[in-house]
Copies of this chain bind each other. A is one copy, B any other.
Amino acid sequence: MQLFWRQGYEATSLQELLDEMRLSKSSFYQAFGSKHALFGRCIDRYRDSLASGMQQQLEAAPRAWDFIAGILNSVAGETQGEDARRGCLVMNTASEFGQSDAEVAARVKAGAARFRKVFLQAVKRAQAEGDIPTERDPGLLADYLVTNMSGLRTLTKAGASAAAIRRIAGVTLSALR
């Protein structure tokens, strides 16, 4: 999953996967069937672990607004360190595959839907807490947040600085009020 996340599907060779997993080819094919099948499971795992992590963060946040602002600003932190600028596996995959592979496209859609769901809860709670006007459509704002997370991460890949990301995230947030 880490390799696919960092490099994408095509750019990750079977050999790299074997080396990283410390597995022989036969063990690999017995366990996973194919590179493509493993990739599918990686997307699923990524989606589940990221979504549940977000969920926990949301539940732990004193205010849903803090969660939303925190998630958007956290992209700034992804410009530094070991695994900098690797983006989001689901959106990276959307970009690499588009609609060319039906199975992959379905997984991407499911991933986007999961992330949207967390944002939807967050927006609704923020509305209940008085931080977002109740007349705004929470589903639409959730879509908007997914869009902006994706956009911010792509800008990160394009070389944007942490400071730039934080400033743009501020504008994104301002649309919710």
Interface, chain A (partner B; CB < 8 A): 7-8, 10-11, 84-87, 90-92, 94-100, 105, 108-109, 112, 140-141, 143-144, 146-152, 154-155, 157-160, 164, 167-168, 171-172, 174-175
Which applies to chain A's interface (DSSP): helix, strand, loop or mixed?
helix
- The complex places the Cα of A92 from the Cα of B149 at a distance, in Å, of 16
Q: How many identical chains are in the complex?
A: 2
Residues of chain B within 8 A (CB-CB) of A7 are 100
B155 touches A112 (CB 8 A): yes
Let me know if A171 and B155 touch, CB within 8 A.
no
Besides the known contacts A140-B171, A143-B167, A175-B175, 6 further A-B residue pairs in the complex with CB atoms under 8 A apart: A85-B99, A91-B154, A94-B154, A151-B152, A154-B154, A171-B175
Closest to A137 in B: B167
A86 to B98, CA, bound (A): 7
| Listed A/B pairs (25) with beta-carbon separation below 8 Å | A7-B100, A8-B10, A10-B11, A90-B158, A91-B95, A91-B154, A91-B158, A92-B95, A94-B154, A94-B158, A95-B154, A108-B158, A140-B168, A143-B164, A143-B167, A143-B168, A144-B168, A146-B155, A147-B151, A147-B155, A150-B150, A150-B154, A151-B154, A154-B154, A174-B175
Bound-state CA distance A98–B147 (Å) is 19
Docked CA distance A112–B150 (Å): 16
Residues on B with beta carbons closer than 8 Å to the beta carbon of A154: 91, 94-95, 147, 150-151, 154
B98–A95 contact, CB under 8 A? no
Given the interface contacts A148-B151, A151-B151, A167-B140, does A94 sit within 8 Å of B157 by beta carbon? yes
